[in-house]
């Protein structure tokens, strides 16, 4: 399996990872194991997903050496006070049965806890060896700026909703100003790509699926993608993105589909979006 690496502030992130949101138990363990056997090296989980133990089981079942893997987990926003954040990070490691993760993220902003305290605790987790790198998720333009300026260690990614229907150009520009990579969740817009006539036409020209075209559109911009699937047969398809390229005209045609209003993930605790 071909795989590209995105470099950001000292981190080397495999550009295609397996998202594990909503995967549980034996299904999650089997998907992680199968993905790693296929050649995936980036696995994304989170405290809130309640599947870190299953992810860890899949990692061990795969037989892939730990030093070949890039494992990401996320601290839930209710655990952003310093002592709670460190405890949450340690509990995640205990569930994963790992001595560290490669990347520890703040899952959502929490205005109830001063960002300076939370970023300080995130840096503390890194200094203690609980994680090699640190980052953020679902941070807006201003929050990215604040977090980057407050952090002693460089932030390596902002994990946000990115797909061809959602214009995220403002926050993407701020991240790139600080050398922070973008990691896209919901990169195929919860399957909407499969029904899009523009992507269907481009896919037919490349003998690829519309989902592969949607993912290629992102990776061609240097974005990390973490598509989730519960179907083993989709694993290879979701990673087969590096044996074709979209033309400038095709990239522009897909780009014209974006709007600031096409957000699919907008929970009650979300920040005021840009």
Indicate which residues carry an active-site annotation.
49
Question: What angle in degrees, to the nearest 10, is found between the helix axes of 52-62 and 25-38?
Answer: 40
**Count of Cβ atoms closer than 10 Å to residue 35 Cβ:** 27
- Which candidate, 74, 84, 78, places its Cα nearest to that of 135? 74
**Count of Cβ atoms closer than 10 Å to residue 67 Cβ:** 5
Q: What tokens appear for 18 in the block?
A: 């397996």
What is the spatial distance between Cα 220 and Cα 217, in angstroms, rounded to a whole number? Answer: 5
Q: Is 230 helix (H, G, I), strand (E, B) or coil?
A: coil
Tell me the pairing of strands 155-161 and 5-8.
Answer: unpaired
What is the spatial distance between Cα 43 and Cα 200, in angstroms, rounded to a whole number? Answer: 28
């Amino acid at each position: 399996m071909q795989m590209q690496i995105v470099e950001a502030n000292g981190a080397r992130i495999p550009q295609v990872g397996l998202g594990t949101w909503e995967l549980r138990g034996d299904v999650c363990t089997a998907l992680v194991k199968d993905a790693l056997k296929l050649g995936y090296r980036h696995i994304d989980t989170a405290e809130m997903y309640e599947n870190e133990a299953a992810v860890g089981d899949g990692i061990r079942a795969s037989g892939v050496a730990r030093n070949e893997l890039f494992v990401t987990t996320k601290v839930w926003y209710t655990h952003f006070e310093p002592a709670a954040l460190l405890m949450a990070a340690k509990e995640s490691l205990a569930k994963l049965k790992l001595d560290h993760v490669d990347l520890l993220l703040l899952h959502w902003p929490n205005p109830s806890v001063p960002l300076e305290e939370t970023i300080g605790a995130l840096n503390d987790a890194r200094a203690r060896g609980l994680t090699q790198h640190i980052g953020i998720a679902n941070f807006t333009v201003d929050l990215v700026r604040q977090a980057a300026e407050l952090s002693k260690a460089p932030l390596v990614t902002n994990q946000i909703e990115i797909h061809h229907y959602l214009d995220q150009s403002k926050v993407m520009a701020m991240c790139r100003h600080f050398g922070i990579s973008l990691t896209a969740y919901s990169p195929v817009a919860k399957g909407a790509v499969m029904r899009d006539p523009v992507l269907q036409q481009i896919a037919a020209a490349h003998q690829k699926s519309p989902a592969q075209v949607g993912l290629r559109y992102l990776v061609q911009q240097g974005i990390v993608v973490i598509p989730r699937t519960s179907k083993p047969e989709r694993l290879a398809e979701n990673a087969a993105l590096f044996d074709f390229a979209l033309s400038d005209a095709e990239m522009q045609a897909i780009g014209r589909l974006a709007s600031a209003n096409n957000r699919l993930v907008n929970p009650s605790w979300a920040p005021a979006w840009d």
